[in-house]
Each structure stands twice: as C-alpha cells, then as structure tokens.
Amino acid sequence: MAILLVYSLCSLRARWTSTVVAVLGIAGTVGVFVAMLSLARGFELTLVASGSPGNAMVRRAGATSEMDSWITLDQVRVIEDAPDVARASVGGLVSPEVVVVAAFPLRSTGTDANVQVRGVSPKALAVRESVQIIAGRFFEPGLTELVVGRNVASSYVGFELGQAVRFGGGTWTVVGVFGAGASAFDSELWADAHALNQIYQRPPRNSA
C-alpha cells in the first residue's frame, strides 16, 4: 500500500501538467452540465408558472403555437357562450389575443433582442389573475397604449412610464407596468388586440 502511494505521488509530481489539465477538463464538464440543468429547470418553472389549471388556450387545428394560429371573431363569440366557460359581470371570461414579435435594444448591450407583444382584450386581467398592474394603469381599449412586464421595463431601453415607443409602423405610449408572478408574461408587452391588428394591418382574427 505504501509503495502504491509513493508511486502515485511521484507520478503526480512528474506529470503534474497533464493532471491539472484532466482535473480542469472534468471540472469544466461538470460545470457546464450543472449550468444546463439549471437553465432547463428555470425554463420549466417559468412555463409552469405561466399556465393555470383554470385556463385553456384555443387554437386552430394543426397550429403549433399562438403565432401560427388564428380563429375568427364568430368563433370567439361561440367560445364565450359555451356552457363550460367561466363567467363574471363582464360576461364569459374569454380574452381573444394576437401575438407578434418586435425587436428592442437591451440596456446591457445596446443590441436588439426580440420581445413578444401580446394583443389582449380588456378581460385579460380577469382571465389571468396572476397578472397585476404594479405601476401606472391598464391600457384604454382602442388606443395605442402599452403595459409592459417588469422584466421588459428593467431589461430594455425606453419603457419608462409615459415613454413613446415606436414599432410595427405605429407609436405606442407606455401607461403601465405589470407583474406576473415570475412567469413568461413578465417578459412581454401587452396592448389592445384591435389596435395591434390595425397597426400590423392584420385581419381581425385572434388566438383565444
């Protein structure tokens, strides 16, 4: 046993450079693996927080995401009148929505990064109860006004309350900031769905 120990120590002293390289390689591999697991776990938690057992998303057959789905306004009315849809004083709790992507400069680098812009109805806050206005107010229907997620307000340039933001060929005014419980909505911009459709010259169709 003593001979093996002495041999190992002598070998380590003679080949210390290759030993250091091997140790650093193993440590780097473990570090990358842990970072990837943490990233995957954080992404999973964000997606779970964005959903709700009381909410359902309606998309057209074959659609793989909100951005490549559409339903007609007549279909929205049918959904609102469905017997299984929750109701409140404002009627059926259905929020027809449209989703687009726009690029805005990051505070950290100044380079543009994509942000999801969600056109929603005035019922959106009643449908998604985890979303709360934390500064300013909610947008007025029909106007080119924005409410921004807290992550957008802190990570991107030009989203202070009262700031004018130009995208999609229109000028929008930031009127509020919302928090969404650390869900994906914290990284979105919300606007009136009808105004967003008009600015982007899209037909009046929505995902619900």
Q: Are 208 and 98 in contact (CB under 8 A)?
A: no
Please give the residue that has the higher pLDDT: either 9 or 159. Answer: 159
Q: For 10-68, how does the pLDDT look when each residue is reduced to its tens digit (9 = 90+)?
A: 666 666 676 666 667 777 777 776 666 655 554 444 444 445 666 777 777 777 777 77
Give the pLDDT confidence score for residue 49 in this predicted structure: 46
Per-residue pLDDT at 117 exceeds 90: yes
Domain ranges, ordered by start, for the chain = 2-50, 73-199
Q: For 144-159, how does the pLDDT look when each residue is reduced to its tens digit (9 = 90+)?
A: 999 999 999 999 999 9
Give the pLDDT confidence score for residue 127 in this predicted structure: 84
Give the pLDDT confidence score for residue 14 in this predicted structure: 65
Residues 6+ apart with CB under 8 A from 151: 186, 187
Overall pTM > 0.85 = no
Per-residue pLDDT at 141 exceeds 70: yes
62-to-59, 95, 96, 197, 205 alpha-carbon distances in Å: 8, 21, 19, 22, 16
143-to-155, 182, 192 alpha-carbon distances in Å: 25, 27, 7
Amino acid letter, residue 198: Q
b vs e for 86-107, b when ≥16 Cβ sit within 10 Å of the residue's Cβ? eeeeeebbbbbbbbbebebeee
Residues 6+ apart with CB under 8 A from 16: none
Q: For 88-101, how does the pLDDT look when each residue is reduced to its tens digit (9 = 90+)?
A: 776 778 888 889 99
Q: Are 88 and 122 in contact (CB under 8 A)?
A: no
Q: For 104-116, how does the pLDDT look when each residue is reduced to its tens digit (9 = 90+)?
A: 999 989 899 999 9
Give the pLDDT confidence score for residue 157 in this predicted structure: 93
Q: How confident is the model at residue 77 (pLDDT cuts 50, 70, 90)?
A: confident
